[in-house]
């Protein structure tokens, strides 16, 4: 053909030849070589802000830190029951306020130094220094004196209930019996720290310090930091000094900052990741139908809800809020709109949070019932929605939130004849608007830090910075702040929490919508992975083994 | 003559300094007027913590004095610490992302030039024929198709269905630079092809070309030796903005292909309200655009004697 002749044609031919040269061999699949060499390729959502356990506050950071450090007590990856970690065993006093931890005698830092009780003591002192801006400092407030020390009411750290008995024994005195204390111990903010290596790089309480970088960071976990290339990857390698190194099957984990979940899904499909941080909603159908064995969907300890601004006259009457709640068909939302196994929620606390169930009447109270909703609205003085005006739903810009808001807008229009406008804002603008209380209704969510209902109820206290609705019930505060801490019996605690939650649902500053699920793509070669309520893997228990039958397609 | 060129460069550099100052002031005003701050988060931090953090980064001072201290440091080359990534300097973050971004832009530019000029030349040599219309139609498609459509399409086709090329990374797996380069180059390639074709068509009608042909020169020699130099002038003029666009515009491609370049930082910095990082990157991009425009002007002067007269 004439087009191939002459100078231009030759160049085109050359280009095609180069392209075909590249394409002769199939491209490498990292998962295949990874499985052979024990290298786990892990999608980890975003570039970590920091790896300082007292600064970083995101879930992706927490994942990496849990490979580099270990707290006194860990969690079983399947059941989330406490398991020995930095401490081999522990004793709890009958009044539930005194804990004695016996440290692993052979525990070593990644530089070979022994891990001692002083390392925990010093790290907890550091966690309570306000200049670091530790977002999770409040987790330590269960320890006697910690809150006062943080606030500056006492300046002597020896008055805080942490005592080094000897190198391998640590005593902790709690402010009040705390059922979930053992669970807190594997949160980064309670990890031990290696003082000498931190002080080598500047002040112990400086945010901008270089001790967290490869070559400087000393941890006590199953892995040690090996390489950190910004926006590219973080590589951790097996720590040969780790006390339980024999049980660690992986040689390396590589964490990738995969902030674009569509790209992440392509990476998984092209064989570059063993595990994805998330799954795009529009791909769920494909995996459910074609590759169900690679899709992991599990209940997650988080509630998706709307906040009602009770300071707005339209929403000041609890009957209006209840009417709005009863006009939402949650089952339709989870099954038709979201379609990832989310559970309709009728209370703040997810069901079976460490054995706690929300009040049994909750489901009936908030159940979808358009007739009752209309009646409530009429009782409040707005028959058929007349006179209520237009409500606005504020959400941060994201497709999933938009879909939910559109569906709810439609339900309110159909069942209550209420007009709603939707308003989306970029994340930080949305946070600012919500803080200022400049909204009617906002989208919100709360993900549990530990397995205890209290974690979900606390945010509705009158002076909680996370309340933001103007709702305040002194009796609710009294139950949670005075009555609950005084008891240690599980059944009694749950009873008090249920009473508090009932008051919350009667006041209804929120519209519970659904309980989260965690979604991941998991390569069949990955062993020892259990989806759990906290969506928290135990890296030392993970392994890689070739799956002969279902490896690829 | 060379003195005049030096004068021109001097004048342009002085304007550049003023321009950069204006960009800095405007950016500073904009980011501080955007709601939310670097330390706002869904999980509220206590007032004590927020105050401590603001004091540490001098966010509690009046805006004017913050700007003055930022500029006086920036002039000395110190762009301050990142708010989002404690322990990292802005210059360190830019230095970490720059190699990948520059490399990607360079490859895309070379590819765009090579393919664009060749295709343009082929098309111009037989106007109206299939070899003109087909490449020009493809070029039009290339201009219209944005990277966020083309990138995923290429990744799905070559990376997932045929498994020929990696779908992500930069310099990690064999061939991982191909798809991002092609994606970024496509639009520019198409534009250069159209510019070259138009330039060549104009040149090929000049009397000196008719003379060259009448002497019996073959068509490729006519195009390569005589017509192309003049025809490429519009392409050269386009290269300045193209270079700046390739660097600044690579962020879409960087996100699609997981490339650790500065474009990705730019987006994250804006979402995180990382004030110092936004300032640093904006000034950096502004300086680049100014620099490449100057370079393109100088190249045009070198190629076109007529323009030198005006200097």
The rounded mean pLDDT for chain B is: 87
CB contact under 8 A, B42 and A431: yes
Residue of B nearest to A8 (CA): B122
CA B149 – CA B142 distance, rounded (Å): 11
Residue of A nearest to B118 (CA): A8
**% of chain B at pLDDT higher than 90:** 38
Q: What number of CA atoms fall less than 13 Å from residue A341's CA on the CB side?
A: 14
pLDDT level of residue B138 (50, 70, 90 thresholds): confident
CA B279 – CA B20 distance, rounded (Å): 11
CB contact under 8 A, B165 and A22: yes
CB contact under 8 A, A23 and B162: yes
pLDDT per residue, tens digit, chain A (553 aa), is: 444 445 445 555 655 655 554 544 566 789 999 999 999 999 999 999 999 999 998 899 999 999 999 999 999 999 999 999 999 999 999 989 999 999 999 999 999 999 999 999 999 999 999 888 888 898 999 999 999 999 889 999 999 999 999 999 999 999 999 889 999 999 999 999 999 999 999 999 988 899 999 999 999 999 999 999 999 999 999 999 999 999 999 999 999 999 889 999 999 999 999 999 999 988 999 999 999 999 999 999 999 999 999 999 999 999 999 999 999 999 999 999 988 889 999 999 999 888 899 999 999 999 999 999 999 999 999 999 999 999 999 999 988 899 999 999 999 999 999 999 999 999 989 999 999 999 999 999 999 988 999 999 999 999 898 999 999 999 999 999 999 988 888 899 999 999 999 999 999 999 999 999 999 999 999 999 999 999 999 999 999 999 775 444 4
Neighbouring residues of A123: CB distance < 8 A, sequence distance ≥ 6: A53, A190, A191, A192, A193
Residues of chain A in contact with residue B43, where contact means CB-CB under 8 angstroms, are: 57, 135, 466
pLDDT, mean of residues B283-305: 83
Per-residue tokens: A198: 């931190």
Task: Give the number of other CB atoms < 10 A from CB of residue B166.
Answer: 28
CB contact, 8 Å: A58 with chain B? Answer: no
Interface of A with B in 253-282 (CB under 8 A): 256-260, 262-263, 266-267, 269-270, 272
Q: Which of B86, B97, B162 sits opposite A230 (nearest CB)?
A: B97
The pLDDT of residue A141 is 94
CA A342 – CA A516 distance, rounded (Å): 6
Residues of chain B in contact with residue A231, where contact means CB-CB under 8 angstroms, are: 96-97, 260-261, 264-265
Q: What number of CA atoms fall less than 13 Å from residue A442's CA on the CB side?
A: 25
CB contact, 8 Å: A20 with chain B? Answer: no
- Contact yes or no for B87/A213 (Cβ under 8 A): yes
Evaluate if residue B6 carries a pLDDT over 80: yes
The pLDDT of residue A2 is 44
The pLDDT of residue A552 is 45
The pLDDT of residue A4 is 44
Evaluate if residue B1 carries a pLDDT over 60: no
Distance of alpha carbon A305 from the chain centroid: 16
CB contact under 8 A, A50 and B265: no
The pLDDT of residue A3 is 43
Q: What is the SS3 assignment for A91?
A: strand
Range name among A196-210, A423-437, B29-43, B93-107 with the lowest pLDDT average = B29-43
Q: Which of A11, A15, A55 sits opposite B86 (nearest CB)?
A: A55
CB contact under 8 A, B121 and A8: yes
Residue of A nearest to B114 (CA): A11
CB contact under 8 A, B260 and A427: no
CB contact under 8 A, B118 and A213: no
Q: What number of CA atoms fall less than 13 Å from residue A185's CA on the CB side?
A: 26
Evaluate if residue B218 carries a pLDDT over 90: no
Which regions of A230-365 does DSSP assign to beta strands (E)? 233-238, 252-256, 295-308, 343-344
Neighbouring residues of B40: CB distance < 8 A, sequence distance ≥ 6: A428, A431, A432, A435, B273
Per-residue tokens: A278: 């998330």
CB contact under 8 A, A133 and B52: yes
Three-state secondary structure string covering A287-304: HHHHCHHHEEEEEEEEEE
């Amino acid at each position: 053909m004439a087009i191939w002749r002459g100078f231009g044609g030759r160049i085109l031919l050359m280009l095609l030849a180069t392209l075909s040269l590249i394409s002769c061999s199939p491209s490498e699949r990292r998962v295949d070589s990874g499985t052979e060499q024990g290298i786990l390729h892990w999608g980890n959502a975003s570039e970590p802000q920091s790896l300082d356990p007292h600064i970083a506050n995101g879930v992706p950071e927490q994942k990496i830190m849990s490979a580099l450090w270990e707290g006194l007590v860990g969690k079983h990856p399947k059941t989330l029951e406490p398991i020995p970690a930095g401490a081999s065993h522990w004793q709890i006093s009958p009044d539930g306020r005194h804990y004695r931890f016996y440290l692993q005698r052979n525990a070593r830092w990644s530089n070979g130094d022994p891990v001692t009780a002083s390392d925990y003591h010093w790290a907890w002192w550091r966690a309570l220094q306000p200049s670091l801006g530790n977002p999770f400092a409040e987790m330590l407030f269960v320890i006697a004196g910690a809150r006062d020390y943080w606030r500056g009411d006492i300046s002597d750290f020896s008055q805080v209930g942490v005592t080094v008995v000897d190198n391998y024994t640590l005593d902790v005195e709690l402010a009040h019996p705390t059922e979930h204390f053992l669970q807190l111990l594997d949160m980064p903010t309670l990890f031990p720290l290696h003082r000498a290596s931190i002080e080598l790089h500047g002040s112990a309480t400086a945010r901008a310090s270089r001790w967290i970088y490869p070559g400087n960071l000393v941890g006590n976990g199953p892995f040690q930091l090996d390489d950190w290339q910004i926006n590219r990857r973080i590589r951790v390698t097996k720590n040969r000094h780790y006390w339980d190194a024999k049980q660690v099957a992986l040689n390396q984990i590589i964490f990738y900052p995969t902030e674009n979940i569509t790209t992440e899904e392509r990476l998984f499909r092209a064989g570059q990741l063993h595990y994805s941080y998330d799954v795009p909603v529009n791909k769920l159908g494909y995996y459910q139908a074609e590759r169900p064995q690679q899709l992991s969907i599990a209940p997650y300890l988080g509630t998706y809800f709307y906040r009602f601004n009770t300071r707005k006259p339209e929403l000041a009457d609890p009957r209006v809020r209840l009417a709005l709640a009863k006009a939402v068909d949650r089952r339709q939302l989870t099954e038709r709109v979201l379609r990832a196994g989310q559970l309709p929620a009728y209370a703040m606390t997810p069901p079976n949070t460490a054995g706690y169930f929300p009040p049994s009447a909750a489901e009936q109270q908030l159940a979808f019932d358009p007739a009752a909703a209309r009646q409530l609205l009429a009782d409040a003085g707005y028959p058929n929605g007349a006179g209520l005006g237009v409500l606005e739903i504020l959400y941060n810009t994201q497709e999933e939130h938009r879909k939910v808001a559109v569906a709810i807008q439609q339900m309110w229009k159909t069942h209550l004849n209420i007009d709603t406008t939707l308003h989306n804002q970029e994340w930080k603008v949305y946070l600012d608007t919500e803080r200022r209380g400049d909204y009617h209704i906002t989208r919100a969510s709360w993900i549990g830090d530990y397995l205890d209902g209290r974690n979900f109820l606390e945010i509705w206290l009158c002076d909680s910075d996370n309340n933001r609705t103007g709702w305040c019930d002194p009796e609710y505060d009294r139950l949670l702040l005075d009555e609950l801490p005084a008891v240690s019996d599980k059944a009694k605690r749950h009873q008090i929490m249920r009473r508090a939650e009932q008051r919350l649902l009667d006041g209804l500053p929120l519209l519970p919508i659904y309980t989260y699920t965690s979604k991941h793509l998991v390569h069949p070669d990955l062993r020892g992975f259990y989806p759990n309520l906290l969506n928290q893997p135990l890296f030392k228990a993970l392994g890689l083994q070739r799956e002969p039958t279902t490896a690829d397609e | 003559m060379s003195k005049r060129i030096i004068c021109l460069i001097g004048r342009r550099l002085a304007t550049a300094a003023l321009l950069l100052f204006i960009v800095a002031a405007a950016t500073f005003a904009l980011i501080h007027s955007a709601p939310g701050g670097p330390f706002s988060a869904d999980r509220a931090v206590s007032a004590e913590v927020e105050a401590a953090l603001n004091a540490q980064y001098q966010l509690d001072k009046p805006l004017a004095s913050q700007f003055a201290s930022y500029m006086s440091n920036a002039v000395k080359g110190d762009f301050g610490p990142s708010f989002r990534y404690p322990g990292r300097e802005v210059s360190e973050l830019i230095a970490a992302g720059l190699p990948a971004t520059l490399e990607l832009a360079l490859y895309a530019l070379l590819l765009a030039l090579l393919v664009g000029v060749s295709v343009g030349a082929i098309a111009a040599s037989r106007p109206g024929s299939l070899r003109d219309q087909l490449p020009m139609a493809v070029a039009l498609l290339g201009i219209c198709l944005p990277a966020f459509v083309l990138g995923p399409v290429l990744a799905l086709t070559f990376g997932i269905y045929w498994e020929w090329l990696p779908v992500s990374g930069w310099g990690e797996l064999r061939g991982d630079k191909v798809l991002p380069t092609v994606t970024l180059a496509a639009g520019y390639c198409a534009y250069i092809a159209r510019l070259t074709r138009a330039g060549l068509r104009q040149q090929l009608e000049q009397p000196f070309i008719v003379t060259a042909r009448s002497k019996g020169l073959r068509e490729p020699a006519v195009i390569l030796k005589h017509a192309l130099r003049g025809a490429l002038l519009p392409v050269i003029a386009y290269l300045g903005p193209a270079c700046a666009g390739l660097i600044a515009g690579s962020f879409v491609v960087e996100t699609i292909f997981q490339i650790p370049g500065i474009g990705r930082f730019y987006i994250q910095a804006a979402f995180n309200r990382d004030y110092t990082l936004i300032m640093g990157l904006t000034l950096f991009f502004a300086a680049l655009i100014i620099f490449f425009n100057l370079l393109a002007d100088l190249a045009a002067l070198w190629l076109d004697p007529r323009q030198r007269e005006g200097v």
